[in-house]
Chain A
Amino acid sequence: MSLELIATYAVAVFLFIGSFFIIVASIGLLKLNDPMTRLHAPTKAGTLGIGAYLLAAMIHSFTVGEGSLHELLIMGFIFVTAPVSANFMAKANIHRRDCMQPPALPEGDTWATLNVPEEDREIEETARHT
């Protein structure tokens, strides 16, 4: 069994793994029934799926010609930024009150995520009542 043969099988296997994770991510995005639960599916499984695809692309580039490790850049970038954007989306959910709310604070304090700038308070108030 030559090295090239093993590499080709590895590419196929990684493509199947990636497809599995990608489809799980999208089914989760569509089927789960709470905004915060839905947040989990694509930000974890989807990122893993893309990681598997990029690994397959990297191995494939070594089998067809001179290999390249460029894909590591995209992989690293996505793995670093996915949790950050997930955190931002969770904060947006809390701010819009689409989920369970954090516990009440002592008199006069507000959570930074729920806080609204002074000049926007009236707009926010009317928007909530309509």
Chain B
Amino acid sequence: MTQASELLTLSLYAALVFVAIAQFMAMIRLWIGPGTGDRILALDTMFINAIGLIVLLGILQGTQIYFEAALIIAMLGFVSTVAYARFVLRGDIIE
């Protein structure tokens, strides 16, 4: 059992490191652009990675209390991505 839990701890911290690196890479893409579409995509990726970080934190602490936060971030991510894309497309969000 100790071997299994050691592997779990290792994979958890490795996952946290990988998601942090991924978040940083998305941040670089957000910074350098070059187009508006790339920036929207980078922001969407950062939302997805933020959900990943919260889920990993929930596993690490063995609680369920982060579930609602992850769900709300997922919804806000979708709505904000669509709003940005729509603004680029039509110059307006709700016509």
Contacts and interface: CB of A to CB of B under 8 A. Distances in A.
Interface residues of A, number: 58
Interface residues of B, number: 53
Interface string A90-116: 111101101000000000000001001
Contacts of A92: 36-37, 40, 84-85, 88-89
Interface in A66-123: 68, 70-71, 73-74, 77-78, 81, 84-85, 88-93, 95-96, 98, 113, 116-117, 120
A98 B74 contact: no
A41 B29 CA distance: 13
Contacts of B55: 50, 53-54, 57, 71, 74
Contacts of A9: 4, 7
Which of A8, A19, A60, A120 gathers most chain B CB within 10 Å?
A19
B94 interface: no
Interface of A: 4-5, 8-9, 11-13, 15-16, 18-19, 22-23, 25-27, 29-30, 35, 38-39, 42-43, 46-47, 49-50, 53-54, 56-57, 60-61, 64-65, 68, 70-71, 73-74, 77-78, 81, 84-85, 88-93, 95-96, 98, 113, 116-117, 120
Interface of B: 1, 4-5, 7-8, 10-12, 14-15, 18-19, 21-23, 25-26, 28-29, 35-38, 40-42, 44-45, 48-49, 51-52, 55-56, 58-59, 62, 64, 67, 70-71, 74-75, 78, 81-82, 84-86, 88-91
